[in-house]
Structure 1
Amino acid sequence: MRGQLNQRGPKPSDLPIERPTRFKLLINRSVAKALGLTIAPSLNIGADEILSRSALGPVAKFGVAQI
Structure 2
Amino acid sequence: MVCADLDDLYRRATIDIDKIFKGTKPADLPVEQASKYVMVVNLKTARALGVTIPPTVLARADDVIE
Q: Mapping of 1:1-67 within 5 angstroms?
A: 16-52=30-66
TM-score calculated relative to the size of structure 2: 0.53
State TM-score, norm by structure 1: 0.52
Number of aligned residue pairs: give it: 40
**Aligned structure 1 segments of 4 or more residues deviating by more than 2 angstroms:** 14-17
Q: Which runs of 5+ in 2 are unaligned?
A: 1-26
- Cα RMSD of the aligned pairs, angstroms, is 1.7
State the percentage of identical aligned residues.
Answer: 35
- In the alignment, structure 1 segments of 5+ residues that lack a partner are 1-9, 53-67
More helix by share: 2
Larger radius of gyration: 1
